[in-house]
Structure 1
């Protein structure tokens, strides 16, 4: 039987919507285990676990437009997988995960197009998130201290909104798509670290740092990318390495002891740093070896005492 005929038979097969609610114990329940798998379309899973030591393994496979919502209160772990049908198609799956209290762990995998994931953590949590295919959307919020999350988005037009509220949080984000990926990052608190790596063209990253000793490291490769943002506070670091043509980079910092670094390897690149405060450091390196410095532009503005600035164009 031809592939398209099989595909049509699969799509015409009636799939009943399935809604399941799991409530694991009362507020003092502990060490519960929940395992659930749905194969089909328009399924719904709702899981609420209270207490410490709980474990959840949830799978929505071979379907589209599925929804999954998990709330864990206590030091627990969750593994979530949303995949495509037997032919690899998956559209419009939605996953929401909230973990409260410390030392929780989560793993979320979404495979398909147009999927959405929202993750919020309160406490000291760690996790990984993988989104495969195009038009994926991610909202991640870390509220507390010592949270660690790794995010991988593979596909075009991916969107990621990352928020760190607290101290000593870590986010590692990788976007690998052909074009039009975007990242919006907010760090509020102390000693938060975010590392973002993206490849493709016409990607955009914006950031806001509010607090002290926060750190952002960005690596962009591609054409027509944009990196911009601002920080308010002391001893913050914003650093970007950008490779490709026609890229734009801009950093604005207000406070003391801040550092901004822009390193571009491209042609027709624009780099700008503005700092207000004392003992700040700014550096711009523009390398266009293959284009002999073709139409690059660099600008540094500093207002305060004891600041240092370096521009190197080659």
Structure 2
């Protein structure tokens, strides 16, 4: 009979103890009619996780999956009717996802893959809003989406991101947002309010870039690219059919841009170091272009 060495025996005991002491938790409550909830916690090293699912109202859907995950939490809260939340956590440690849904026909999709200490919050009220967050390979990221209007669409992607933060607020009608972050320490805050059909796209790929974008009115478009270090951009649009485009590829550049009125267009490209642009458009049909 083959015997184990003391080290091998200790290792086998530790592994068997871990497998038996997974200590995962599911807390599921349904109050109402026609709800569907699924909670799945599988795979080796899936330990000390929690899934909380509370459903009231009618015909809500909640799906939660944790695999190869350790010490993480999924919390799904649903009221009213026909809302859908789908969350998965895979291969990470110490992550947290919260989805709060009220209203009608809202949907939230969240995926965390190989994340460490990252958080996601999706808060939806109103009707027919869609939110998605993808956090893949990173740590200490934070993504927040708040939708209290109708027919809003918001997508945040944090891939290869560390210490990133992206916050999106939509209170209007049919607003759209796409945000992407990679690198370290990038910050983005967007607000779309008091109108509708506005669109924001933002791509941050670098270190310690900051972007703030606000839209008030109808059919405004804002685009932000930050690919350098320590760049800062503040963009504000109020009115209708305004277009703003900022691209920062250098180090320590700054843009402050404001548009009031309609049919205005503004373009800023910065490729240097410590460049500054301050721009204001008030009226209709103006065009401004800055290259630094």
Place the TM-score, normalised by the shorter chain, in its bin. 0.3 to 0.5
